[in-house]
Amino acid sequence: MVYLKWVFWAVLWTIVLTFLHYTLPQHDIARITDTYEKRVDFGENSIFWANSGSGNAAAPTNRDVFFIQAFETNGKPIIYRNEDTGWGWPPYFKFDTSNLQAEASDLISKKSAATAQWVSITHYGWRNEFLSIFPNAISVKPVAGPDVRIVPWFNIILLTVLAALVWGIWARWRKFRVRREKRKVDHYTEGWG
Amino acid sequence: MVALLKLVVIGGGILTVIYIALSIYSRRVRRGKLEAEWLVAGRPGDEDAFVEAGLKEYDGSLRRKLILGVYVMPVAVIGTIVYLTNFN
């Protein structure tokens, strides 16, 4: 039974951390090399693509999706999709996909460029080659160079608030349980034991 | 606009559940505090009357109305995110 408890908590923590890692914003320092649009036929991976309903038809089987190609500071390629999240999940409320694509095209900087233009790309999601899934770019901002460090203030604050909230509810739940146990014991003394 | 409607209906539903749960919890905590207060004050008169009077005062208090923040906060947060994501 002890092992069952361990497995339960391990699975729960894995789910929670995986969910947060997918959903929370991250910043990549990268060099955009191209932006393009390609038709995507959604299959088993459809859950990893936006289902925004920001004016367009809901849940089509295929559509054109914007992509942003980039190279990270370590020289490895990273491809982002650029999709509206609309009013759906995750709650980025992104409607400016076309504007973002324009900004990204404006910041293109190839390897051959005399002075490389580095950008900070805010995104959520994962790149997975086996599932053909891409992180969704939220915003691009030009930065001074490849060594810039972005402090994830939003994540720090959100995780702190989340931890405080969970702890607050958990502490109250425990107090409630302990009191109920005690009341059973104190029954004969009418709660004055 | 269907997506927005879905957000408002489902989100509003969840917030209403939180609002009701929080209201009940807060009132119960207040009741417990009033009962303790009654004991500390040297049991003045009838306990139920003392507690009821205190709860009536609580119902009209600002503290009670602050629970409405359950609705106000998410709307403010969503408004801020919409602005920061799309227009900043």
Distance from CA of A38 to the nearest CA of B (A): 23
Give me the pLDDT at residue A54, please: 63
* Predicted confidence (pLDDT) at residue B4 exceeds the cutoff of 50: yes
- Mean pLDDT value of segment B52-61: 89
Count CA atoms within 13 Å of residue B20 on its CB side: 5
Domains of chain A: total:
2
Give me the pLDDT at residue A190, please: 57
Give me the pLDDT at residue A193, please: 45
Q: Residue A70 pairs with which residues in a beta bridge?
A: A32, A78
- Mean pLDDT value of segment B11-34: 93
- Identify all chain B residues contacting A96, using CB atoms and an 8 Å cutoff: 85-87
Residue with tokens 């629970």: B67
* Predicted confidence (pLDDT) at residue B30 exceeds the cutoff of 50: yes
Single-letter amino acid code for the residue at B84: L
Q: How far apart are CA A85 and CA A25, in angstroms?
A: 13
Q: How far apart are CA A96 and CA A90, in angstroms?
A: 15
Question: Is pTM, for the whole model, over 0.90?
Answer: no
Same domain for A89 and A181: no
Instruction: Return the percentage of chain B with pLDDT > 70, whole number.
Output: 100
Contact criterion met (CB below 8 Å) for B47 and B32: no
Same domain for A159 and A138: no
Q: How far apart are CA A127 and CA A30, in angstroms?
A: 15
Same domain for A170 and A78: no
Q: Which residue has the higher pLDDT, B21 or A192?
A: B21
By C-alpha distance, which of A25, A4, A2, A14 is closest to A124?
A25
Strands (E), chain A: 26-41, 62-72, 77-82, 118-124, 136-143
Pick among A23, A24, A52, A87 to test the B interface (most B CBs inside 10 A): A87
Residues of A with CB under 8 A from a CB of B: 52-54, 58, 86-88, 91-96, 99, 138-139, 172
Query: pLDDT tens digits, chain A, 193 residues: what are they?
Result: 789 999 999 999 999 999 999 999 999 999 999 999 999 888 888 888 887 666 666 666 788 899 999 999 999 999 999 998 888 888 999 999 999 999 999 999 998 888 899 999 999 999 999 989 999 999 999 999 899 999 999 999 999 999 999 999 999 899 888 888 777 666 555 555 4
Same domain for A104 and A86: yes
Q: Looking at the partner chain, which of A52, A94, A99 has a beta carbon nearest the beta carbon of B3?
A: A52
Strands (E), A73-192: 77-82, 118-124, 136-143
Query: Which domain, by its residues, includes A65?
Result: 2-150
Same domain for A122 and A164: no
**CA B6, B9, B10, B11 torsion: positive or negative?**
positive
Same domain for A115 and A167: no
By C-alpha distance, which of A80, A61, A84 is closest to A69?
A80
Contact criterion met (CB below 8 Å) for A79 and A134: yes
Contact criterion met (CB below 8 Å) for B27 and B51: no
List Cβ neighbours of A86 (8 Å cut-off, separation of 6 or more). Answer: A50, A52, A53, A54, A93, A94, A95, B3
Partner A, chain B 27-86, Cβ-Cβ below 8 Å: 78, 81-82, 85-86
Give me the pLDDT at residue A179, please: 84
- Identify all chain B residues contacting A58, using CB atoms and an 8 Å cutoff: 2-3
Q: Which residue of B has its CA nearest to A59?
A: B3
Q: Looking at the partner chain, which of B4, B7, B85 has a beta carbon nearest the beta carbon of A92?
A: B85
Give me the pLDDT at residue A21, please: 96
Same domain for A105 and A91: yes
